[in-house]
Structure formats: C-alpha cells, structure tokens
Structure 1
Amino acid sequence: MTGSKINLASQSHDFDGYTISKRKDGIVQVQFKPGFSIDIEHAKHMVTVIESIKENEKCLFLVVFEEDNTFSMETRNYFSSDAVSKIIKADALVIKGLAWEILGRGYLQINKPNRPTRLFKSAAIGTMWLLNNIH
C-alpha cells in the first residue's frame, strides 16, 4: 500500500483552531492546530459538537495537542467537570514536549477528571489504550 493513506475519520468537522472527527473505530478525536489557544468558549463548542456526533452512549475521546497549544484554567475545569463526563467515557491525551507533560500531569492531579484519563506521547498507543482497556 505504498503511497496510500488510510482515512480513519468517518465524519469530520473543521474549525479555526481544531478538527473534530468521529473515527470509524468509534473514537471521537480532536486534533488541535499549531499555535491554537483553547478558551472556555472553544471548549463548550467542542463538547456541543462531540455530543452531536457521538453515538447514544458515552464516547471515547482522543485529544491530540501540538507543542505550542495552550488552554486556560477555566477550560481545564470545564473539561474535567461531571457535565463533560456525562458524554465522555475516557480521555487519551496525546502530548508533545516537556511543557505539555508537566501541564498534563497537573491536569490529572489538580482537576482530577471523573473518568479514566491518561497521557500518551503517541496517538496510536492512546488509541490502543482506549479500545483495549475502556470498551
């Protein structure tokens, strides 16, 4: 299959700083664009889109950050809230760089999302964790 590209997205929505896709494996993926700063309004919009494309039950969520993405404390609080946990079953957060590793660990220890949430350095490994440990 040289030169071919496998399309994992069955449904994709492109916005200014990110793309939200419902993949063929059922995972909802958010891919942030370089330099994008996620604020509370973006977060609420993402959750609205996720709610509209997920199946009837809670979804598995794969979030792929770029090294220079940022997000506010208000956004972190919102994403870790019980309201968001009602639609998301588990999060695999794909991080790049030391700064994101520190932020990610802080998010897990301080915000303590009420659902399984782990940090990964690879989308493939995050996907395997979601599909093999959460279903």
Structure 2
Amino acid sequence: MNALATALMAWIAAHSSYDTATMPLPDIALLTPEALTAEFYRDAPQDIPASRVDARVIALYSHEDGPHGTIFLLTPEPAWPGDDPLQDPIFQEQLLHELVHHAQRLSGVMDSWQCRNQGEREAYRLGGLFLARNHATDPLPNRAFWGEIYSRC
C-alpha cells in the first residue's frame, strides 16, 4: 500500500503546487463498512445509522490519528476474481483524494482556510483529472458540483 501511496503523492506533486517529495506518508487503514462508519461517527456515535453502515462514507482523512495522520478506506474488492483491487483506478482515486487532504495539511495551505471543507474542491478536481488521465469512467459525473457543495463552510 505504501508503494501505491508514494506513487499517488508523486502524481499529486506533478499535477498541483504541492511539493510532496519530503512529506511523510500517513498511516492507511483498510476497514469494513461498519468499522469505517464507526470511525466517521466517532465523535457522534448517537448518529450512526441503525444499519451500522453509512454507504456515503467510503474514505476519510484524520490528521489527528497517527504520527502523520491516518487515511481510513473501505477495503477494496477485486472487480473480477484474481484481480488486484489496488490496481483499480476508482480505489486509487479514493486514496488520492485523501492524500490531497494530507498534502494540503502538511503544506500548511489549510491553515489559512475558514474551515477544513475548503479543501474538497481541489481534492475532487484532482480526483477527476486522475480518473480522466487513467481512462476510467468517473463514478461521480457531477464531480465539480459536489466539490463546490462540499467545500462550503
């Protein structure tokens, strides 16, 4: 997983203003849908859905966990038996999105924001670019809209 994260950090550096060469990688934890939901609602457990799964939550970045932050992701499943799920560009984009937040934090750019949400526009934009450059169908065709909506404070 570290090799993939390192490659994605290099991709971020090549397609943004972030110098990721010396940035330490965050920890990366692959979780079940129930465990990821619990992590997402850690500070508000009373809001966890009755099903114990919030299907909207597929990844998150916590800069408070681990020495350099932690990315929590759903454990990827292979598209076909025998496939390496880490080679799936959709999974890679999910990891890249969270790595963009990691780069935003370590670069100090987020220190000037009104709220942490302001980084979403850039993370969604870079994710869409990554999928396009890898000739993958974007599962979020209205990506610019959601990036704008989620960037609001």
Under a length normalisation based on structure 1, what TM-score does the superposition of the two structures give? Answer: 0.30
Structure ranking higher in strand proportion: 1
Structure ranking higher in helix proportion: 2
